[in-house]
Amino acid sequence: MVTAKVWVLKKHFEGFPKTSDFDLKKIELPNLKDGELLLESVFLSVDPYMRPYSRRDMKEGDIMIGTQVARIVESKNPAFTVGAFVVARSGWRTHFISDGKDIQLLPSSWPESLPKSLALGTVGMPGLTAYFGLLEVCKMKPGETVLVNAAAGAVGSVVGQLAKIGGCKVVGCAGSDDKVAYLKKIGFDEAFNYKTVTSLDEALRKASPDGYDCFFDNVGGEFASIAINQMKKHGRIAVCGAISQYNDSVPQKGPYVQVPMIFKELQMEGFLVTRWNNRREEGLKALLKWVVEGKVKCHEQVTEGFENMPMAFIGMLKGENIGKAIVKV
């Protein structure tokens, strides 16, 4: 008999999540039936979507949603061997049982030397978000200028590097001087700390006096309202995330987008990375290749210990992470 530790949502978040909104519990797992596997989580992901999705998809007492890289410790399914690593969507649990249908083996070409946690970041859902958002929504072209916010995070840091690979000029904004230094290190042409500039409008203008062809928006709210005015004619805005609004108890008010949208003839499109689930393999293959070649650099903010999951999640929402926020069990 295996005992799993799980984190449940004790109380729906009101405003910014608190550690007291979570409860750590223990669950006895049953013995495996034919066709089933026992897995242990090795790395778990904490992601911004957990904040809005908890309200939409969960009730109090449910196990927190989320993904992990897990190792197969017992198998009664001939398609999966003990010791193999998979990406699963089993929520905040140390151990779980699967019938093998909703788990994905790490690509067979995954180098031994590459951290498996990257399957939750650059070579996982956040990397795919950057890849499809830039190619399919922004439709970036060589020579264009791309703006990205939350630029030092899991999605943003990949957006900037893919845009450079695609022959664009890249401007990134992030919330600390250390993050700005990181952006310059990984090849961003311009980067600034949006928290310390006297005027965001002026800082954006200085970074690209001619304006922006593409804006990959991870933040929404006031930042997006200011940035939209600096789009070039026929610019494209990929509305990827709105993290500045996820913890609001009262919805923020305008300014509104219609006037710049009309006079600059902009395209603005929201998207979910799951739209391209049928092209997941293509995206992961491309991302893995760039990482192995050293063309895309990865950084992870690793929190040690399953007990610290709520703290890691709250820290990520506060902006404490450079690169992908990960918990190592």
Ligand X SMILES: NC(=O)C1=CN([C@@H]2O[C@H](COP(=O)(O)OP(=O)(O)OC[C@H]3O[C@@H](n4cnc5c(N)ncnc54)[C@H](OP(=O)(O)O)[C@@H]3O)[C@@H](O)[C@H]2O)C=CC1
Ligand Y SMILES: CCCCCCCCC/C=C/C=O
Write the secondary structure of 204-273 as one string of H (helix), E (strand) and C (coil): HHHHCCCCEEEEEECCCHHHHHHHHHHEEEEEEEEECCCHHHCCCCCCCCCCCCHHHHHHCCCEEEECCH
Instruction: Please report, for residues 6, 73, 98, 284, 326, the alpha-carbon distance to residue 42 in angstroms, rounded to integers and kept in the order given.
Output: 14, 11, 16, 20, 10
For residues 37 and 76, the answer to whether their CB atoms sit within 8 Å is yes
Count the Cβ atoms, other than its own, within 10 Å of residue 296. 25
Please give the residues from 78 up to 107 whose contact with ligand Y meets the rule CB under 6 A. Answer: 89
197 binds, among ligand X, ligand Y, none (CB under 5 to 8 A by kind): none
Restricted to residues 12-51, the positions that interact with ligand X (CB under 6 A) are 47-49
Residues 230-289 that bind ligand X (CB under 6 A): 240-244, 271-273
Distance CA 207, CA 190 (A): 6
- Smallest distance, ligand X to C-beta of residue 35, A: 32
Rounded CA-CA distance 64/324 in Å is: 19
Interaction partner, residue 150 (ligand Y, ligand X, none; CB < 5-8 Å by kind): ligand X
274 scored as a contact of ligand Y (CB under 6 A): yes
**DSSP category for residue 189:** S
Pair 8, 36: CB distance under 8 Å: no
Residue in 57, 48, 54 with CA at minimum distance from that of residue 11: 54
The smaller minimum CB distance to ligand Y, of residues 68 and 77, is found at 68
Cβ nearer to ligand X, comparing 70 with 242 = 242
Return the structure tokens found at 37.
């596997």
Complex with ligand X: residue 91 or 175, whichever CB lies closer? 175
- Cis status, amide bond into 17, omega within 30 of 0: no
CB of 325 to ligand Y, least distance (A): 13
Q: Which is nearer to ligand Y, 69 or 180 (CB)?
A: 69
> Whole-number minimum distance, CB 197 to ligand Y, in Å?
26
Q: Does 48 bind ligand Y (CB under 6 A)?
A: yes
Residues 116-155: x where in contact with ligand X by CB under 6 A, - otherwise, as a string: ----------x--x--------------------x-xxxx
Residue sitting closest to ligand Y (CB):
49
Q: Give the shortest CB-226-to-ligand Y separation in angstroms.
A: 22
Diameter of the chain measured on Cα atoms: 65
Pick one of ligand Y, ligand X, none as the site partner of residue 67 (Cβ within 5 to 8 A by kind). Answer: ligand Y
Contact partner at residue 316 from ligand X, ligand Y, none, CB < 5 to 8 Å by partner kind: ligand X
Nearer to ligand Y, 38 or 125 (CB): 125
Given the rule CB under 6 A, which residues bind ligand X? 47-49, 126, 129, 150, 152-156, 174-176, 179, 218-219, 240-244, 271-273, 316-317, 319, 321, 325
